[in-house]
Structure 1
Amino acid sequence: MTSGLGFSLLALILSGPTAAFVPIGGGVSTHVSITGTALLQKVTETCRAVAEAAGHEFKPTGSSPGELVQACLGPTATGEVSGVKFYSALQEIYTQNGLVDRNFANSAPHHFNSEAFLEGRSLITKGMASIKANIRTENFKAARETMGRVLHTLQDFYSHSNWVELGNTEPYIALIRPDLPLENMADVDTATCRDCATTTCTNPILQNILNQRMLTSGYMGIFSDRKPQGKCSHGGEADLSSATLPRGGIHKDELRTDNAAFHNAAVNAATAASLQLLEDVRLTVGNNDFLRLMGITRSAVVCFVIDDTGSMSDDIEEARKAVYKIIDSKKGTQDEPSEYILVTFNDPHFGPLFRTTDPDKMKTEISKIKASGGGDHPEMCFSGLQLALTGAPASSHIYVFTDAPPKDIHLKNTIAALIKRTKSTVSFYITAPVRRHRRSVRAASFKDYKDLALASGGQAIQVSKSQLAQATNVILDTSTSALVTVFQSTRDPGKPETFPFMLDKSLQNVTIYITGQTLAFTLTNPAGVNQSNIEPIGALAHIQTVGNLRRIVLNSDHQSGSWKININSKQPYTIKVTGQSTITFIYDFVESFKGPHPGYAVLSGLPQAGQPATLMLSVMGRRGTSSIRVENVALVVSDTGVESNGKTTDMGNGDILVTVDEVPAGEFVVILKGTDEMSSSSFQRQSTTQLSVSKVNIQAMVDTSVEPGKDFNLSFSVMTKGPSGKFIISGSNDRDFPMSYPKSLSLTTGTYTNGTLTISPPSNTPSGTDVTLTLEAKSSNGVDSNHAVLRLSVVTKITDFVQPVCDVVSVWPDDCPRDMSQCMFFEWELSANLTDGNGTGIERVSLRQGDGTLSYTSLNVSSVHASYNASCCSQIVEFVAIDKVGNVGKCYHSIVRSAGHAAFSLSTPLWLCLLMSAWILKT
């Protein structure tokens, strides 16, 4: 059972439409609720263990995701802490869980249908290997996506097989342990069910199958009613085989009056099985990385992409100073970055990507950068940026330093697609050269950078090298926890205009950024007080001007309410208003799908032009979702301000289904308005990433890892709602692995055309490497295009599934005094040998339970000797050994006395106490 915290938090975050994650269970118990219950329980256990190990109390002040994250991060999380990354991580897992019903509806192994037990178990164990390998290489997004799919398949076993009908109440551990056999499975010639004319019989499993405890599952016929003679069907309207003798079905997906007991038993077993899988992953990767997997970290990620050619020495020094300042000023606070990422580039080289959670290692790495070679000629900027976008977590802030145009301009569309997919914000620091003969080239390159900055909601800051130090203040602004965007817009060409925006009482550190040349502005607060751009320090804000950037920092005592800023310029300009607040939202464009288990799937690319669109939107407040009232959601065209209002359906607890009759043409963002119930103040929030529409649609799916040295074929389909004709196909990946695919496809309006892409990871690719693949389809005239972004995991085939074995050699003494008031005067010790049967080597040994001291001989060998020493006040020990491929072995021992065991007591003669003390007591 989950704790009270787990249940109350679960009620807040598992409230999406049940159709999106169709059963186990219609109504209350769904895949998402089962997954969420297990995830929340395991996260709570892990947070408590980390807190206790750090010596502080784990005591959330409430049940919202932000409050759980704040309690988990401990005393350093003293200010505003957002739970949005935690919430987003959960949603990624839930989304992939639900997509199994769309992408693999007719695949028996994915659902344990049609007695595909060995194949289903193989999907789970291969998936677990991929998850562990991805986490080891810090590819957490790839691990979450695989985890969602694997949990779906695991949970389906308990609903689609007769496991609970056989009287089992515990999970089938062999499903996640490939070293254990799957036993007593019915063969294809063994009848398993009796006929059920009403199709809703309580238990149609044949009695001899039950008596022999033989394992079977229902056959699913989506396109045919055929099944082996005498076999059970899955059941339900979508299963054509359920009308073939024996009729009926054995699935427990939906809670009905005829299957309530079995349904509930299946839910309980599926939840327990999910916990087993999560615990296995947690033990393998450790508590800290498990929490990083779940998005429970300080929210800021610092990511730099730096041109290291000869002309960049000044820029590199300023970037270095900015990193040092972030590290030194935010260390030990809730704003301390959770991760540091660095990518360098020049020509022809770029990368590799460096990442660390250790600020001192980041200092060391950035201190190694030396400007050398080249000049201010075109460089591989977009190649370096591609590495950063695929390697950094979603919604990261990425800062690019360069003084040269991009040589790899062909990657611009790929970068734009990655920005839209990851919702990351990219800001460019361009130090313009003084040479007059380069000016026209520089103006063109700056436009490319400006386009991508606008698409991401970032800044394109053009300054001289001497001004760069002042411009990097923006990095300090955005490297912070709970950062939100209140408003942003752009005008090209520029025109005089007044922009209203709403500031609520929860906002802190409000900052306005305006980029553009030759402009004037006036800022007005709700009381009508004004401040113009010619007043650096005024009644409302401090204004800093550097290059093409105006940075306006509002006074800390700013009023809440309706503000406005009037900008007067005929040159292009952008405006963005940000602040710190836990009131925020996440969203995805989704499309409905049909089949046995209908639901919603996240769009892989852009929404369709001229068509209605649906968004799934989740809102978070200072005390969870109950403190927020949403009043309006709209799509706003960035360069005109025209709004397309959506029709909202409140799904409960902050989850909103938004339908827009027609997506607007042009680049647009999502804006949300509502009321913060805690302060009774109106608020607005806006997404940063600009989106657009397309008449082209690409569908592709990945569900298995890729082996090094082997070709992987990816099927994809392309369709256009526009004119028929030839469409250009292009693909790229961030690892530069060889690929082949059709360079063009001839499309007919409204009909999908299939293609195949083949990617070939080299044989020396490290296990756990993830590959981000971008596939684009563009009309021959270039007017319309769309993209799909997919992640592949490269995982070495694992043949070692044997867990390390623990052999307790000795325990001395084997008991302790019964009088626990004397326990601190006595000690005990344990000696054990840990052996890795297949010889891949034990990689890590860690203490899981017990307050004593664990020591062991060197690792990475097949046998490790471990010694444990503890006070008699701590009489249970458990430690784990993990081998190189992630198999987990446990060593558990208890010296807790049974009731009849001899022990010290107050009536023990003094001479015997002294004799026993001489034997036990250590000084």
Structure 2
Amino acid sequence: MLLKITQTVRMVVLVVLLLLVDHTHSFQPLFSSKGNSTTHRDITQRAVLIKTAQVCRDIAAEEGWGFSLTIDDSLTVEKVQRACSSTGTSTSVLSTVRYQTSIAIMYFTNALVDVVFALSEEHHFDDETFTGGRDVITAGVFAVKSSVKQENYGAGRLVLGQVCHTLQDFYSHSNWVELGNKSPYAALIKPDQTLENLAGPSVPTCRNCTDGNCENNLLPDLQQQGLLTSGYFNLFSSEKPAGKCSHGGSFDKTSRKDPIGGISKDDTGSSHGSLHHQAADLAVNATVELLEDIRLAVGNKKFLQLMGLSQSTVLCFVIDTTGSMSDDIAEAKRVSFEIIDSKRGTQQEPSAYILVPFNDPGFGPLVMTTNADIFKDSINALTASGGGDIPEMCLSGLQLALTAAPSTSEIFVFTDAPAKDAHLKSTITALIESSKSVVTFMLTDVLASRRRRSLQGVRPRAMSQADAQLYRDLARASGGQAIEVTKDDLSKATTVIEDSSASAVVTVFQVVSNPGKPDNFSFTVDGSLKNMTAYITGKSSLTFSITSATGVTQSSSESSGPLATLTTTGNLRRLSLNAENQTGLWEISVNSNDPYSVKVIGQSSVNFIYNLVEAHEGAHGDYSLKEGRPLTGGNATILVTVTGSDTVTVKEVTLFDSSGPTEVNGTLQSVGSGSFLVTFTDVPAGDFVLRLKGEDSATSRSTHSSFQRQASTQIKPSSISVTTQTNNTSAEPGSTISVNFTVAATSNGVVNETATGTFTIQANNDRSYTSTSPSTLTIASGGKAEGTVTLTVPSSAASGTDVTLTIEAQNADATDINYAVLRFSVAAKVTDTTSPTCQVVSTTNCTSSSSACSSLQWMFVANITDGVNGTGIESVSINQGNGTLNTSTAVGMDGMNITVVSYSASCCSQSVRLAAVDNVGNVGICEGKAVTSTGGRTLTVSHWLWISVALSIIWR
């Protein structure tokens, strides 16, 4: 009983916090209420753009291609993406969606810290918790490095965003800026460095502000001694140690107690708001330093993948491996090899490869790699066998793919059997909506009738129409397709996989008509679109015609006509459109009374990303990511960001439901950087997709400047609210996570306090970790019910992996459902926090004459160690320098492992900077510089170190 009361009190406190907190407790998270203030979103994006550009510049210098971009505060996502082209030249069709999406993930999780960790002093450097704040940063950085080591970039971005929030808050909440510092506090990201000059617990730090002016409230003695302090903050109590500074702001009760006022620099209206921009600039530079530390630990290639700098999609297959699937496996192998071999070494090469086999009773293991040869070997190793009872674990395999693949991925499922795990349908739908990934099913040998027929008592392998409907429903929810063909014709249908693997693919128009009816559909072709393709699926009796903007028409009876080349395979019609120089309004007319779908895609730089957000009340107010589905009858706010162009003007964003047809127009509010907050009022029930229309003023394009784009994933409102409360975003192996959640019935977008009823609860995770949860929750009073899910991470779980937990609530009639999706990083506690050390053994000289430098060589030798209790040196790489590096290992007389590095280079390049990384990601720097002389050959040697090396090698 006591435990229940404690949990209830905790939930009540958190609800109060969410209602009260106005985000003046840090830099504004996403959007500034004061137009000239800098937010966490701004700081994070600026830092990511700067560091990405710097890494690309270094790669360009190393590989010898041009990099002309000026790295300053004018950087944009498109400028950096284009400059980072491996050829150093611009391309006509450039996709920035993945890069922009990755940045958005980081600034959204950054903003979430103000909600999840609202009362944590350590996460905001409040109350002089410098050691605790540094621990939050360094533990998070270790977790990011572990995730990247496992090529688990999605989990790495989630943690990185949170770490950046805490680091950035230091510069707003402490007096680092007031002390006159012009560079970041490096010790915050280096756990082996001492935090110096901290004001002790009994040292007074502030005096009262005068008539509301707090510019000089820091005590002169504190400033003269260079002591570091931060403000105290509390929502509920005014208590603080005597003489200590407060954070300040209307919700900080400590700021009303002597010394009155605060020292925060969260925005220009804060107590020390005149220093806001200096604090923000330092926060940017500090974030760049943190990213540099991660870059040194993981290497350039993996760092750019962590940042999401890729124009290409992942190649992701989920494949049934039962006995009848040998032809399908062979086709999946053929098409994947063709894509890999044709795109290897180009910018269209897939950014990652994912393979998930499934059968019955097993599924997996998941193979996720950036190495095409590993993927080839994995798919080569698949064999078709077994499959006695027909239904297979298809959705379990798809669940692994959805949680492993980056957001907005395209996933292809090959099967000829119904799903044995159909109970996961709602979980899969939740993951599709959360990740915005597109799922296309390649279904072979679906029976024409709704039932499987038996032949002399033997159950046939083929699935019925009823079985296939599950796959059609999931394809529709994701914006994918359910393609039904014979095994002999599968190779003709897999052209859709090749289409999707092209760069910068955008959806121009998509609609599903179920039940079917004759209808006309229009879409706009703009001048940026290339290589357009239309897909129409439906029964063989379906007919259609297509009409261009100039009035030319082609019917479905023409396989090759003035507007398109048509191929028909199974239920799929693929039209390769001749849309070049035919901009304007096109029309497709479909004649069918059976269900069908229409989808039009093309290649274009112009696209958009979107996220459902919710407002938080308060003096300033802001937004954070919203869990689950929007509420029926209420307001819905979506953050829309246009990618790939700075010449686009958005005119209209709508929620479109073709089954109505219903169209809800949104109200647009620009928030800068090509982003808009779009608010929809009184959202009706239905299955909506987001459509964006506007104009492009680029002078190089056609005079027909109108354009449209459409999101693939459906948005389905719900009258059920599911919210979660957890202070955990990561877990150690062997630990248990508890997630408290609340389910509520709503009416017109708000909780219906008079509602009654019972909800069915389902909690699933993609790792099959042990979990407990209630099977039902009954509303007792207030329209809400509370529950707890526990999730136990096995002690064998590898650091750097992650687990995705989905909590779903369904009403008693099974007509409505909502969900929350949470992702936790698995991070083992790191005890080795000491960076590798470098001892220079020798440096040879170069003559001062530059005319002969290319014919002369110099050498640098050093010993690198990781200490007696270290985890050992994992790698040594050249960070700066154009020479040759060689390493060898030795054991010293004290038993310590030594990595001996020797570096040689031309005298035209007379310095070197090496990065030594140990097995948990600590980075040590080793620098050397040639000794210059006027002639002759001299040798500068630390003799005892040479002796140490020689003895260590002999000893070994």
TM-score w.r.t. structure 2 length? 0.89
Q: Which position in structure 1 is the counterpart of 2:926?
A: 891
3-state SS, counterpart of residue 464 of structure 2: helix
| Cα distance in 1 for residues equivalent to 2:537 and 2:38 | 51
Tell whether 2:85 aligns with 1:73: yes
Q: For residue 730 of structure 1, what is the aligned residue in structure 2?
A: 762
Counterpart check, 1:687 vs 2:707: no
**1:799 and 2:831 aligned:** yes
How do 1:642-721 residues align onto structure 2 when only pairs under 5 Å count? 642-678=662-698, 679=701, 680=703, 681-700=705-724, 701=726, 703-721=728-746
Moved more, 598-607 or 746-755: 746-755
2:217 matches 1:217: no
Q: Distance in 2 between matches of 1:170 and 1:60?
A: 24
Of 778, 801, 811, 2:810 maps to 778
Q: Distance in 2 between matches of 1:833 and 1:794?
A: 34
Q: Which letter maps to 2:715? A: L
Q: Are 2:862 and 1:840 equivalent residues in the alignment?
A: no
- Shift in Å, 1:585: 0.7
* Equivalent pair of 1:522/1:566 in contact (CA under 8 Å): yes
Deviation at 1:245, TM superposition (A): 1.5
Aligned residue type for 2:453: R
Could you say which residue in structure 1 is the equivalent of 2:751? none
Paired position in structure 2 for 1:634? 654
556-565 or 574-583, larger mean C-alpha shift: 556-565
Matched, 1:557 2:574: no
Would the alpha carbon gap of residues 233 and 766 (structure 1) be closer, same or farther in structure 2, given more than 3 Å must change? same
**Contact 1:24–1:156 (CA under 8 A) maintained in structure 2:** no
Q: What is the match of residue 426 of structure 1?
A: 439
Q: Distance in 2 between matches of 1:653 and 1:445?
A: 46
On the 8 A contact 1:618/1:655 being kept in 2, the answer is: yes
* 1:497 equivalent in alignment to 2:516: no
Which of 442, 449, 452 lines up with 2:464 in the alignment? 442
Deviations 1:848-893 (CA, angstroms, capped at 9, x unpaired): 1111111001599942000011111111111011000000011012
- What secondary structure sits across from 1:73 in the alignment? coil
SS where residue 665 of structure 1 aligns?
Answer: coil
Q: 1:868 to 1:596 in 2, by over 3 A?
A: farther
Matches within 5 A, 1:62-211: 65-75=77-87, 78-211=91-224
Q: Does the aligned pair in 2 maintain the 1:376–1:403 contact within 8 Å?
A: no
What are the ranges of 5 or more consecutive residues in structure 1 without an aligned counterpart? 1-17, 898-902, 905-912
2:35 is aligned with 1:35: no
**Corresponding residue for residue 866 of structure 1:** 901
2: CA distance between counterparts of 1:836 and 1:367?
Answer: 41
CA contact (8 A) 1:339 1:355 kept: yes
Alpha-carbon distance in 1 for matches of 2:937, 2:387: 79
2-structure distance, mates of 1:750, 1:693: 22
Asked if the contact 1:60/1:70 (under 8 Å) is kept, the reply is: no
The Cα shift of 1:657 comes to 1.4
Q: State the partner residue of 2:7.
A: none
User: CA separation of 1:257/1:117 partners in 2, compared to 1, >3 Å: closer, same or farther?
Assistant: closer
Relative to 1, partners in 2 of residues 1:684 and 1:117: Cα closer, same or farther, differing over 3 Å?
same
Residues 463-502 of structure 1 aligned to structure 2 (within 5 Å): 463-502=485-524
Distance 1:37 1:519, change over 3 A: same
Deviates more, 1:252-261 or 1:509-518: 252-261
* 8 Å CA contact 2:859, 2:930 repeated in 1: no
The Cα of 1:693 is off from its aligned counterpart by 0.5
Q: C-alpha separation between the residues in 2 aligned to 1:919 and 1:40?
A: 42
Larger mean Cα displacement after TM superposition, 68-77 or 462-471:
68-77
Residues of 1 paired with 2:163 and 2:884: CA distance?
36
Does 2:851 correspond to 1:821?
yes
- Per the TM alignment, residue 310 of structure 1 is displaced from its structure 2 partner at its CA by 0.5
Aligned partner of 2:778 in structure 1 is 746
For structure 1, which segment, 240-249 or 451-460, has the greater mean C-alpha deviation from structure 2 after superposition? Answer: 240-249
Question: Over residues 550-603 of structure 1, what are the superposed CA-to-partner deviations in whole Å (9 max), with x where a residue is unaligned?
Answer: 111112536111110110111111111111101111111111013576311111
Query: 1:574-585 counterparts in 2 under 5 A?
Result: 574-585=597-608
Letter in 2 for 1:481: S
Q: Distance in 1 between matches of 2:655 and 2:708?
A: 13
Q: Partners of 2:278 and 2:575 in 1: how far apart?
A: 59
Cα distance change of structure 1 residues 257 and 569 upon mapping to structure 2, 3 Å threshold? closer
Measured in 2, the distance between the counterparts of 1:596 and 1:144 equals 30
SS at match of 1:673: strand
| Residue range with higher mean Cα deviation, 33-42 or 472-481 | 33-42
Q: Deviations along 1:223-248, whole A, 9 cap, x unmatched? A: 22222222211111121221111111
1:339, CA displacement in angstroms?
1.4
Pick from 877, 890, 900: which aligns with 2:912?
Answer: 877
> Is structure 2 residue 315 aligned with structure 1 residue 302?
yes
Deviation of 1:20 (Å): 4.4
CA shift, 1:86, in A, is 0.8
Q: Give, in angstroms, the shift of residue 78 of structure 1.
A: 4.3
Distance 1:574 1:153, change over 3 A: same
Instruction: Provide the residue aligned with 1:512 in structure 2.
Output: 534
Once structures 1 and 2 are overlaid, which stretch shifts more, 646-655 or 824-833?
Answer: 646-655
* CA distance in 2 between partners of 1:362 and 1:185 (Å): 52
* 1:277-296 deviation per Cα after TM superposition (whole angstroms, max 9, x unaligned): 11111101111111111111
Is the CA contact 1:635–1:664 (under 8 Å) kept in the aligned structure 2?
A: no
Aligned residue for 1:5? none
**Structure 1 residue 751, shift from structure 2 partner:** 5.3
Distance across 2 between alignment mates of 1:528 and 1:166? 71
- The range that moved more, 790-799 or 820-829, is 820-829
Q: Equivalents in 2 of 1:175, 1:256: separation in Å?
A: 27
How many Å separate the matches in 2 of 1:385 and 1:719? 29
Q: How many Å apart are 1:836 and its aligned residue?
A: 0.6
Q: Distance in 1 between matches of 2:931 and 2:103?
A: 39
What's the CA shift for 1:752?
A: 5.0
- Secondary structure of the structure 1 residue equivalent to 2:488: helix
Q: Is the 8 Å Cα contact of residues 151 and 369 (structure 2) preserved in structure 1?
A: no
User: Secondary structure of 1:857's partner?
Assistant: strand
Q: Please give the secondary structure, in 1, of the residue aligned with 2:637.
A: strand
Return the offset for 1:63: 6.0
What is the Cα deviation at residue 692 of structure 1? 0.5
Post-superposition CA distance 1:253-295 (Å, at most 9, x none) = 1225984664344233322221221111110111111111111
Q: How far apart are residue 798 of structure 1 and its match?
A: 0.5
- The one-letter code sitting in structure 1 at the alignment partner of 2:253 is L
CA contact (8 A) 1:327 1:336 kept: yes
- Letter of the 2:855 counterpart: F
Distance 2:803 2:378 in 1: 24
Q: CA deviation at 1:73?
A: 2.9
Tell me which residue corresponds to 2:954: none
TM-score, L = length of structure 1: 0.92
The farther-off stretch of 646-655 and 558-567 is 646-655
Q: CA deviation at 1:919?
A: 12
Do the aligned residues in 1 keep the contact of 2:509 with 2:710 (CA within 8 Å)?
yes
- Residue 52, structure 1, aligned to residue 87, structure 2: no
CA distance in 2, matches of 1:236, 1:556: 58
In the alignment, the residues of structure 2 paired with residue 710 and residue 676 of structure 1 have an alpha-carbon distance, to the nearest angstrom, of 53
| Counterpart code for 1:697 | S
Question: Structure 2 vs 1, CA of residues 455 and 643 (structure 1 numbering), >3 Å: closer, same or farther?
Answer: same
Quick one: which amino acid aligns to residue 658 of structure 2? S
Report sequence identity in percent.
48
Matched to 1:283, the amino acid is: L
Residues 409, 819 of structure 1: alpha-carbon distance in 2 compared, 3 angstrom cutoff: same
Instruction: Find the counterpart in structure 2 of residue 453 from structure 1.
Output: 475
